Chain A
Amino acid sequence: IAGITQAPTSQILAAGRRMTLRCTQDMRHNAMYWYRQDLGLGLRLIHYSNTAGTTGKGEVPDGYSVSRANTDDFPLTLASAVPSQTSVYFCASNRQGVGSEAFFGQGTRLTVV
């Protein structure tokens, strides 16, 4: 059972470049989320999707976009990367509904130079 898989594991990206972080889950979870983790700030929600075909903005959505074409995949795109987007990015999923455990991927460490 793979659970939730992110790719790439790490990436160094030149400022101004476009980048898509991939996330796939095999648990048939309805809801998926993207968080960024920064030292001293914990994990903050970027975008979410409650079901295929719908997306919403989280706490820190600027500079990021997402799509949810099907249940399993939830890619995060940085249209034009900036150094402040250097972070560790985590994708998560759950069944949705009150009190549903969220499962996290192993993270993507992104450095924008």
Chain B
Amino acid sequence: GENVEQHPSTLSVQEGDSAVIKCTYSDSASNYFPWYKQELGKGPQLIIDIRSNVGEKKDQRIAVTLNKTAKHFSLHITETQPEDSAVYFCALEGSQGNLIFGKGTKLSVKP
């Protein structure tokens, strides 16, 4: 089945620095690539998504890039803040409208 590899599994940055999380996937017909943020004790929440007809999308301090030919997509967070500390998941859309998730990246932003 479809597989999504996510790296790194943990990431620690200083407040104000940038954070980058990368995902690669195997053969897929998916055209939708969302990123979710999960805070402790809560369910995942969508923070940004990108569709295959777009190479890059930005929303304030968060940006996502997609290279469908190379089968990878990345999340970029600039000017990180302590409240950005959470677990981040990349995903792609499966054949049933479900999401196929990467294993997650625990981001820690140190003040």
A binding-site residues for B, Cβ under 8 Å: 31, 33, 40-45, 48, 50, 56, 58-59, 90, 92, 94, 96-102, 104-107
**Could you list which residues of chain B lie within 8 angstroms of chain A, going by C-beta atoms?**
1, 6, 31-32, 34, 41-46, 49, 51, 89, 93-94, 96-104
CB pair A102 B46 closer than 8 Å: yes
Are B43 and A42 in contact, CB atoms less than 8 angstroms apart? Answer: no
Can you pick out 12 interface pairs between chain A and chain B where the beta carbons lie within 8 Å of each other?
Answer: A40-B103, A42-B103, A42-B104, A43-B44, A43-B101, A44-B101, A45-B98, A58-B96, A59-B1, A99-B31, A101-B49, A105-B43
Q: How far is the CA of A101 from the CA of B34 in the complex (A)?
A: 8
Contact status of A42 and B102, CB under 8 A, knowing A90-B44, A99-B49: yes
- Write the chain A residue with the least CB distance to B99: A102
Given A42-B89, A42-B103 in contact, is the A99-B51 Cβ separation under 8 Å? Answer: yes
Q: Are A101 and B43 in contact (CB under 8 A)?
A: no
Q: With both chains docked as a complex, state the minimum distance between the C-beta of B33 and any C-beta of chain A, in angstroms.
A: 9
Q: Are B101 and A99 in contact (CB under 8 A)?
A: no
In the bound complex, residues from chain B placing their C-beta under 8 Å from that of A33 are 98-99
Q: Which of A43, A98, A107 has the most CB of B within 10 A?
A: A43
